Chain A
Amino acid sequence: MTIPQERHVLVVFPHPDDEAFGVSGTITTHIQQGTPVTYACLTLGEMGRNLGNPPFATRESLPIIRKKELQASADAMGLTDLRMMGLRDKTIEFEDDEKMVGLMTDLIEELNPSKIITFYPDFAVHPDHEATARAVVRAVRRMKDRPTLHGVAFANNTVEMLGQPDVIYDIQEVRDQKMNSMKAHISQTAWMLEEMEHKLQQGDKETENWLTKERFYNYRWHEDFEKSF
């Protein structure tokens, strides 16, 4: 599938590096096609567990490191509109739900995106991912003219419940940028990248496939995750 032209793309995730693995190829492609892309990252991943042994960071210095990594990832993708929203890692689901919807509504009203990318509610594993997805879906649900809403889903039961993704983009041409976005978050991705390089060297098809394709689900309004909010 080729990536269609959009008026403006808004990407909303809670953690630095959420954008790298699943979406950085798509973001890069949109930017190369001249589409403005805004990435709203809700936290700085303050509660990340990879601090090393011997440690390279402390609980208090980690957000400073991850902020720089997030900026480096944005640079790797050519992204210029990066919003750091100032919430704290692992607390998003405990924020006032209406406040969260308001945060999303403000972004949408300001940017008027034709497409929004976030996590797919109920299939996003991490509580922050789920809370982010709920807030975005609720904000979009209230709109008269809804933009395209693409969800990233990776819970273990995703294929069983949602079937195969209905949007699959070939991002081979921007593979280097995707790799550089992942490498930018080195404090959290080092061990994963090492494992990936190893698998690639062995010619592992699944890993190769994962690096060259990005998968999304169109949000199914007819199977909305809640009846009302």
Chain B
Amino acid sequence: MELVEVKKLQVELDAFAGRDVYLHLETTNGSYATHFNEGFFNAGAFIRNVVINYELGKVVGDSPHRVGLKLPHGWVYAQGITHYELDEQGRLLLAGHDGSGKLAVALQISETPFSY
């Protein structure tokens, strides 16, 4: 993965617009957050292989970035995006990694389903 460059990532987001794509969206503090810090309120969400078709995708701001996808009847967005990669299977993988190298958020789109 490489650090997000807004102009380059915007080109990739544009390329998937108006097409049916599989979505992976995840936010996480890790399952051990409350074990290491008992007062911590651990919340997160995960969705994988839901098909969406967005009319407009935008990456905004200084790093960490926000990325939003406008759908005919709704929205998808993620904040905290630091890195991206168009992988060898043509999937657009966006992720936010904290200073210690732990993933905190992921937003991925693909024309073929992600594995299980």
**Closest CB-CB distance, B15 to chain A, in whole Å?**
18
Asked whether any CB of chain A lies closer than 8 Å to the CB of B39, the reply is no
Q: Could you tell me if A58 and B28 are in contact, using CB atoms closer than 8 angstroms? A: no
B106 on interface, CB distance cutoff 8 Å: yes
Q: How large is the interface on A (under 10, 10 to 19, 20 to 34, 35 or more residues)?
A: 20 to 34
Once the chains are docked, how many angstroms separate the CA of A52 from the CA of B46?
21
List of A residues within 8 angstroms of B3 by Cβ:
54
A88 at the A/B interface (Cβ < 8 Å)? Answer: yes
With A49-B102, A51-B102 in contact, is A60–B87 under 8 Å at CB?
A: yes
A132 to chain B, nearest CB (A): 13
- Asked if B32 and A58 make an inter-chain contact with CB atoms under 8 angstroms apart, the answer reads no
Across the interface, B101 reaches (CB within 8 A) one of A50, A88, A127, A155, namely A50
Residues of B within 8 A of A51 (CB): 95, 97, 101-103
Of the residues B1, B31, B104, contact of A58 by C-beta under 8 Å? B1
Q: Mark A175-219, 1 if CB is under 8 A from B, else 0.
A: 000000000000000010000000000000000000000000000
**Chain A min CB distance to B41 (Å):** 16
Q: B28, A60: Cβ atoms under 8 Å? A: no
Main DSSP-derived SS at the A contact region: loop
- Answer yes or no: B18 CB below 8 A from chain A CBs: no
Which residues of A are found within 8 Å of B108, using beta-carbon distances?
59-60
Closest to B106 in A: A59
For B35, give its contact among A50, A52, A125 (CB under 8 Å). Answer: A125
Residue with the highest number of chain A CB atoms closer than 10 Å, among B38, B101, B114: B101
Say yes or no: A49 contacts B30, CB within 8 Å. yes
Given A53-B100, A156-B38, decide whether A126 and B95 contact each other with a Cβ distance below 8 A: no
Residue A47 is within 8 A (CB to CB) of chain B in the complex: yes
Q: Per-residue CB proximity of B71-85 to A under 8 Å, as 1/0? A: 000000000001101
Interface flags for A55-90 (1: CB within 8 Å of B; 0: not) read 100111101000000000000000000000010101
Interface residues of B (CB under 8 A from A): 1, 3, 24, 26, 28, 30-32, 35, 38, 46, 82-83, 85, 87, 91, 93, 95, 97-104, 106, 108, 114-116
A60-B93, A60-B108 are known; give 4 further A-B pairs, CB within 8 A: A51-B102, A51-B103, A60-B114, A60-B115
